[in-house]
Amino acid sequence: MRVRGWIKYSVIVVLLMSTGIGMRAQNTGLDQPYLGEIGIQGGCGYYVGDATPHIFMNVREAYGVHFRYKFTKRWAVQAKISGQRITGNEYTIRGEKLDSKWTNRLYGADIMAEFNFFRFGSSNKYDKRIRPYTPYIFMGIGIGMYSDIKYSGEKTVTAAGYFPLGLGFKWKFHERIGLNVAWQHNIWFSDDVEGQHALNDKHHLNGWNWMNCDITSMLTVGIVFEIAKAHKACRICNW
């Protein structure tokens, strides 16, 4: 009876050990994600409003920095600070177009939710659904600041909200480094981002007509660096 008992005990111990070793071997090399990400971006920007009715007219520089927190392989939230310069033709009080141009700088801070079309992360041989690249869409809310010239000629700084949305592409070419391409559109809750009194609320529709709001856009390329590695699910596992 003792021999049989020791045999049963030995078999149980061997099975438990082999199961634990198998779990460790199976999980070796699994993707242990990073929860956070910081990045910088630069590119071109433009605006569509009273002085520039079409996209990609009077293109000027745009730039920004961001922090991204990844909840899952599909969903993330991004906090971003950006700046851009917009320009266009000057107009007289009567609305006559002049040859000279105006320029204005806009700075914004926004927070946006993101959705990845693919499960995004480091390549993983145990989960073929995870890909190191994905297109994504985003939208959120923001607030910006810009110079504004009143009808009295006084130059002030104006703050206004905007609705950011757009689409992009992510590519993770290293364990912690990647590239982002984003085309962001900011629908402002105002019609005076030009900062020119002849263009401010030109048709007297501010405050109720959303179709009269100015729109600014940025097409940027950025490099990102992942931070804050996620904790392992268990002590004996490699993930």
- Residue 18: per-residue pLDDT: 44
Which tokens hold the place of 42?
């630069």
CATH no. of 33-229: 2.40.160.20
Which positions ≥6 away from 196 have C-beta within 8 Å?
Answer: 51, 90, 91, 102, 104, 149
**For the whole model, what pTM was predicted?**
0.77
| pLDDT per position as a tens digit, 21-76 | 344 434 434 456 889 999 999 999 999 987 887 888 889 999 999 999 999 999 99
- The answer to whether 45 touches 88, Cβ cutoff 8 Å, is no
Residue-by-residue DSSP string for 82-105: EEEEEEEEEE-TT--EEEEEEEEE
Which positions ≥6 away from 201 have C-beta within 8 Å?
Answer: 191, 192
Residue spans per domain, the chain: 1-30, 33-229
Per run of 10 residues, the mean pLDDT along the chain (length 239 residues) is 52 48 41 85 92 86 96 95 90 68 93 95 74 95 87 76 96 92 94 79 58 89 91 60
